[in-house]
Amino acid sequence: MKPITELIKDLADLHGRDRHSLLPILQGVVEQEKYLSEYSMIEIARELDLPATEVFGTATFYSFLEYKKMGRYIIRICKTITCSMKGEKQILLAIEDMLKIKVGETTPDGSFSLLQTNCLGFCHKAPAMLINNDVFTELTPEKVREILSEYLNRKNEGGQNVN
């Protein structure tokens, strides 16, 4: 993993240092670090010659640009109407039970964070969730337990493809 300052510099080299380069750079930092710390935001502000508040105000607007420390795997469960109708709560309970955390929390070992999100675009295969960038659909409590076990057993990073 690159140190943050180097990461930001490389991202700026790739995307540019204009205002319209901000979002890809924020995304790049979140991709590696899973969230944007104060330090990250200040470094981005420095690199792009932007006020720190502009970076903060822009980052906090977007749901996927976390600004609080997150686990290695961020679970986002869809809570919009169809997924909600098709058993989202049961999935949530299953995860809460398995990982011993509630929505908004991160496991003490820093492996999982549990969040809710809005319509993921898989309503015909509800309920659905994201773990980082990977989508899992047609979930049941059993299926979710299987998926999480697989993640727990992982030694390395890297995602699966969409089911």
Partner 1 sequence: MSTNYQLKRADFIFKDENDWEEVLKNNINRPPNELINELISSELKGRGGAGFPTGLKWKISAEEVNDVKYVICNADEGEPGTFKDREILSKVPFKVLTAIAICGHVIGAKIGFIYLRGEYFFLQTELNKAINEFEYYCREIKFDFSIKIFMGSGAYICGEETALFESMEGKRGEPRNKPPFPSAFGYMGKPTVINNVETLAHTYTIFKYGSKRFYDLGVQYSRGSKLFSVSGDTPKPGIYELELGMSLADFVDEFGDDDTKAVQVGGASGFLVPRKRFNETNIGFQGKLVGISLPTGGSMMLFNSSRSMFNVLDNYLNFFAEESCGQCTPCRVGCQQLLRGIKAVKRGEKNAQYLDKMLKLAETMQFTAKCGLGQSVANSFSSIVENFREEMIY
Partner 2 sequence: MGKKIKITINGETVEIVKGTSILEAANQAGVIIPTLCYHKDLCVAGNCRVCVVEIAGQKRLAPACATPCDEGMDVLTNTLKVRNSRKHIIELLLSEHNADCTNCYKNGGCELQKLASEYKIMNQDFIHLVPFRNYTIDMFSPSIIKDDSKCIRCQRCVRTCAELQGVNALTMSYKGEHAKITTFFEKAMNDVVCTNCGQCINHCPTGALVEKNYIEEVWNAISDKTKYVVVQTAPAVRVGLGEELGFEPGERVTGKMVAALKRLGFDAVMDTDFTADLTIMEEGTELLTRLKGALVDKNPDIKLPMATSCSPGWIKFIEHMYPSLLDHLSSCKSPQQMFGALVKTYYAKARNIDPEKIVSVSIMPCTAKKFEAARPEMHDSGYRDVDYVLTTRELAIMIKQAGIDFMKLKDAHYDRLMGESTGAGVIFGATGGVMEAALRTAYELVTGREVPFEDLKILPVRGMEGIKEASIKIENPLEKWSFLDGVELNCAIAHGLVNAKKVMDSIVAGTSHYHFIEFMACPGGCLGGGGQPIPTNPEIRAKRTAAIYAEDEGMPMRKSHLNPEITKIYKDFLIAPLGEKSHKLLHTKYTPRKRY
Instruction: Establish if 147 lies at the interface with partner 1 (CB under 8 A).
Output: no
| Residue of the chain from 4, 23, 52, 98 that contacts partner 2 (CB under 8 A) | 52
Shortest distance, position 68 Cβ to partner 1, whole Å: 15
> What single string gives the DSSP state of each residue in 64-126?
TS--S---SEEEEEE-SHHHHHTTHHHHHHHHHHHH---TT-B-TTSSEEEEEES--S-GGG-
**Is the Cβ of residue 37 or residue 107 nearer to partner 2 in the bound state?**
37
By the 8 A CB rule, do 72 and 157 touch?
yes
Cβ pair 132, 93 in contact under 8 A? no
The Cα 22–Cα 37 span in angstroms is: 15
What does 46 interact with, of partner 2, partner 1, none (CB < 5 to 8 A by kind)? Answer: partner 2
Residue 80 binds which entry of partner 1, partner 2, none, CB below 5-8 Å type-dependent: partner 1
User: Does the protein bind partner 1 through residue 145 (CB under 8 A)?
Assistant: no
| Least gap, CB of 46 to partner 2 (angstroms) | 7
User: What is the C-alpha separation between 92 and 158, in angstroms, rounded?
Assistant: 24
Residues that bind partner 1 (CB under 8 A): 18-24, 26-27, 57-58, 61-65, 79-82, 84-85, 117-126, 130, 133-135, 161-162
